[in-house]
Amino acid sequence: MTQLPASVSIREVGPRDGLQNEEPVPTDAKVRLLDALSATGVRRIEAVSFVHPRAIPQMADADEVWARATKAPGVRYSALVPNSKGAQRALAAGFTEIEVVVSASDTHNRRNVNRSTAESLDDIAGLIALLHEHGVTAEVIVATSFGCPYEGDVDPARVAGIVDRVVADGADRVAFGDTTGMATPRRVREVLTAVRDRQPDIPILLHFHNTRGTALANLLTALDLGVTEYDASVGGLGGCPYAPGASGNVATEEVVHMLHDMGVDTGIDLDALLEAARLAEELVGRRLPSGVLRAGPRLPQV
């Protein structure tokens, strides 16, 4: 392993990616979870998404959740949007950082946002310009970057081509989503190498799911390749809409526990985070898959 970074920036996505894949919970529960997370020392939170309520009923109350949530100083909050209409809603709600999503695989893009990848990319070009007019940061999340539940393998060259396009259109950052947990260290290395060969300067964030148990291995691989921004979800909240019962996003506590032990700072207080994870369990009414939540943090002497 090359030299480790002194710190890693974790974006907590439990309130969005986590809750969108759980049975719907009341608005009040979402606000409580957001407030608990805001008190953990985490520096970034993806708070809500502005999507069609028919597509994702769990986010139908995004405006109200965001209006009622405590905005903690020192925390950067963001929202995910699937199209221009979502971006307009996020701007109206006052977000200054916005993620727009497109899938590398055409089939997944059609199922997710009802259009081809090429059509989404055309929309995104205008959307980035709109966000920049408002002084808002535009991140493009490339979903299914490491594999598609419908098409199988996704060619890293296709991912790199999408990155070329959105960088040309002005994206401030790209994120690669392992939407259904198909990534392995080999695939992570291939995608990052393909992208970096062509776009060495664009900031990169990675979004791993632990559906098949590879999330921390993938994260270490990416860390070794110099990536220092990651999404993670409290308690491993969430799941996979295509595989009932499957684990969801990599659990924030597992990432924090591992990184802190390796001397990499995250700014997060693990005890406060575990409290938020226990709250998340209570709110969704099921045991969450996080190993650190189940076993507790490692004792210093053991």
Strand partners, 142: 102, 176
Question: Does position 110 bind ligand COA by CB under 6 A?
Answer: no
Q: Are 181 and 140 in contact (CB under 8 A)?
A: no
Query: How does strand 44-49 pair with strand 173-177?
Result: unpaired
Nearer to ligand COA, 56 or 256 (CB): 56
Nearer to ligand COA, 55 or 264 (CB): 55
Question: Does position 140 bind ligand COA by CB under 6 A?
Answer: no
Helix and strand counts by DSSP (H, E) for the chain: 12, 8
Sole residue written with tokens 């019962």: 245
Closest approach, Cβ 82 to ligand COA, in A, equals 4
- From 240, 259, 274, 277, the catalytic residue: 240
148 is catalytic: no
Q: Which of residues 9-28 bind Zn ion (CB under 5 A)?
A: 17
Q: Are 43 and 75 in contact (CB under 8 A)?
A: yes
**Cα 187 from Cα 201, distance rounded (Å):** 21
Closest approach, Cβ 187 to Zn ion, in A, equals 16
What does the per-residue mask of binding to ligand COA show for 43-62, with x meaning CB under 6 A?
A: ------xxxx--xx------
**Cα 119 from Cα 103, distance rounded (Å):** 11
**Cα 170 from Cα 281, distance rounded (Å):** 39
What does the per-residue mask of binding to ligand COA show for 77-96, with x meaning CB under 6 A?
A: -----xx-xx--x-------
Question: Does position 145 bind ligand COA by CB under 6 A?
Answer: no
Catalytic positions, written as ranges: 240
- Which residues contribute to the site for ligand COA (CB under 6 A)? 49-52, 55-56, 82-83, 85-86, 89, 101, 112-114, 143
